[in-house]
Copies of this chain bind each other. A is one copy, B any other.
Amino acid sequence: MNKKIRIGICGYGNLGKGVQKQIEKNNDMELIVIFTRRNPEELSKHTSVKVASISEVMEWVEKVDVMIMCGGSATDLPIQVPEFAKYFNTVDSFDTHAKIPEYLNHVDVEAKKGGNVSIISVGWDPGMFSIMRAYADAILPYSHTYTFWGKGVSQGHSDAIRRIKGVKDARQYTIPVTNAMERVRNGENPELSTREKHIRECFVVAEEGADLVAIEKEIVTMPNYFADYDTTVHFISQEELDKNHSGLPHGGSVISCGVTGDSNKQVIEYSLNLDSNPEFTGSVLVAYARAAYRMQQEGMAGAKTVLDVPPIMLNINSRDEVIKKML
In the complex, chain B residues whose CB is within 8 Å of the CB of A325:
137
Which of B101, B280, B290, B314 is in CB contact (< 8 Å) with A266? B280
Which of B21, B121, B126, B128 is in CB contact (< 8 Å) with A135? B128
Residue among A121, A126, A312, A326 with max Cβ neighbours from chain B (10 Å): A326
Please state if B327 and A305 are interface contacts (CB–CB under 8 Å).
Answer: yes
Closest to A141 in B: B25
Please state if B261 and A314 are interface contacts (CB–CB under 8 Å).
Answer: no
Complex Cα–Cα for A270 and B326 (A) = 15
CB interface residues, A 101-152, toward B, < 8 Å = 101, 104, 121, 126, 128, 130-135, 137-142
Which of B104, B138, B141, B271 is in CB contact (< 8 Å) with A269? B271
The minimal Cβ–Cβ distance linking A249 to chain B, given in whole angstroms, is 9
Please state if B316 and A312 are interface contacts (CB–CB under 8 Å).
Answer: no
Which of B260, B283, B310, B311 is in CB contact (< 8 Å) with A280? B260
Closest to A283 in B: B139
CB interface residues, A 270-327, toward B, < 8 Å = 270-276, 279-280, 282-284, 287, 290, 305-312, 314-316, 319-320, 322-327
The minimal Cβ–Cβ distance linking A268 to chain B, given in whole angstroms, is 6
In the complex, chain B residues whose CB is within 8 Å of the CB of A273:
185, 265-267, 269
In the complex, chain B residues whose CB is within 8 Å of the CB of A238:
none
Q: List 8 A-B contacts (CB under 8 A).
A: A131-B311, A138-B287, A261-B276, A267-B272, A269-B269, A305-B327, A306-B327, A307-B326
Q: Secondary structure at chain A's binding surface: helix, strand, loop or mixed?
A: helix
Contact of A97 with B by CB under 8 A: yes
> Given the interface contacts A104-B323, A139-B284, A312-B308, does A270 sit within 8 Å of B270 by beta carbon?
yes
Complex Cα–Cα for A306 and B311 (A) = 8
Please state if B327 and A135 are interface contacts (CB–CB under 8 Å).
Answer: no
Please state if B311 and A18 are interface contacts (CB–CB under 8 Å).
Answer: no
Please state if B260 and A265 are interface contacts (CB–CB under 8 Å).
Answer: no
The minimal Cβ–Cβ distance linking A136 to chain B, given in whole angstroms, is 9
Contact of A47 with B by CB under 8 A: no
Closest to A323 in B: B305
In the complex, chain B residues whose CB is within 8 Å of the CB of A306:
311, 327
Complex Cα–Cα for A46 and B57 (A) = 68
Residue among A271, A272, A284 with max Cβ neighbours from chain B (10 Å): A271
